[in-house]
Structure 1
Amino acid sequence: MENLYNTGIKFAPQLLILVFITITFLQSGIDKITDWKGNVSFLKTHFGKTFLRRSVPLLLLIILIGEVIVGFLSIMGIFQIYITGSTFLGFLATVLASKILLMLLFGQRVAKDYAGAMTIAVYFIVTVFGVYLLG
């Protein structure tokens, strides 16, 4: 038990970032699954005047798959830290999370939703810091 405590202390910033990523990406993925039609409808309107309007369902599916993968990689990364002390899976989770956020940022910029893009930038900072800490 003391070893788990020591690991938790030693890797506290990395573990906190992985928990943050798990919550953020799994919740987002679950929302897309449970309200697929609502999300597609909203995004078709959001991207209605852009070249992305016809690709919304496919792009949303790609983001959904990525978010679920990131969520599970983050969970596995947490367990890997506690079991082996390795940060490899957490590193992969943060890199993939950063790439997904860049895709979302691109979409927000194309849609000229600058406030939405600014919000994504905050998440991006956390994930890049995770890449740094876990790499």
Structure 2
Amino acid sequence: MNNVASILSLAFLALTFLQSGYEKIFYWKDNVAWLKEHFAKTPLKNQVPLALLHLLILELISGILSVVGAIQLLTNSGREYGFYAGIFSCICLLMMLFGQRLAKDYDGARTIVIYFIPAVMVVNWLN
């Protein structure tokens, strides 16, 4: 068990992004409606469904890579999938941070930083 912290961090990222992806898929209309209002005064106001679709795809990739990465670490101490999970997770979170800052939702942006820290730690540990 040399990789306990990495496995736990990957589990955290998997839960975060797979659950978020699940909500986007099964509550798509509610998410789009809320986000259209959230971004009404930004340049993204007409791009919400497309931006949400891009984020959904990246979140699912991040979550799946996190699961595969944790399994890889457990079975053969391989680091590739976990490393890419961290990279994709960071990209997702940076996209969300950009959106929150654009919408001037500074509390929401601050919350994203809490998720960004473990993602960067995964990248660092598995590099």
Please classify the TM superposition score into its range, dividing by the shorter chain length: over 0.9
Of 30, 46, 54, 1:54 maps to 46
* In structure 2, C-alpha distance between the alignment counterparts of 1:12 and 1:113, rounded to whole Å: 35
- Deviation readout 1:25-77 (Å, 9 max, x if unpaired): 00000000010000000000000011000000000000000101111111110
- Residue of structure 2 equivalent to 1:41: 33
TM-score by length of 1: 0.92
User: Which residue matches 1:120?
Assistant: 112
Could you list the runs of 5+ residues in structure 1 that have no partner in the other structure? Answer: 1-8
Q: Identical aligned pairs, as a percentage?
A: 48
Deviations 1:98-133 (A, max 9, x none): 011000000000000000000001111110011111
* Partner of residue 19 from structure 1, selected from 5, 11, 14: 11
Residue 29 of structure 2: SS of its match in structure 1? helix
Q: Separation in 2 of the partners of 1:107 and 1:19?
A: 25
Aligned equivalents of 1:10 and 1:121: distance in 2?
A: 27
Displacement of 1:82: 1.8
Work out which of the two has the higher radius of gyration on C-alpha atoms and give 1 or 2.
Answer: 1
Check if 1:94 corresponds to 2:86.
yes
Match of 1:66 among 58, 63, 67: 58
Q: Distance in 1 between matches of 2:56 and 2:64?
A: 13
Normalized against structure 2, the TM-score is what? 0.98
Which residue of structure 1 aligns with residue 73 of structure 2? Answer: 81
- Where 2:84 maps in the other structure, the secondary structure is helix
Residue 103 of structure 1 is matched in structure 2 by: 95
Residue aligning to 1:4: none
Q: CA RMSD in A?
A: 0.6
1-structure distance, mates of 2:59, 2:76? 25
How far apart in 2 are the matches of 1:81 and 1:49? 44
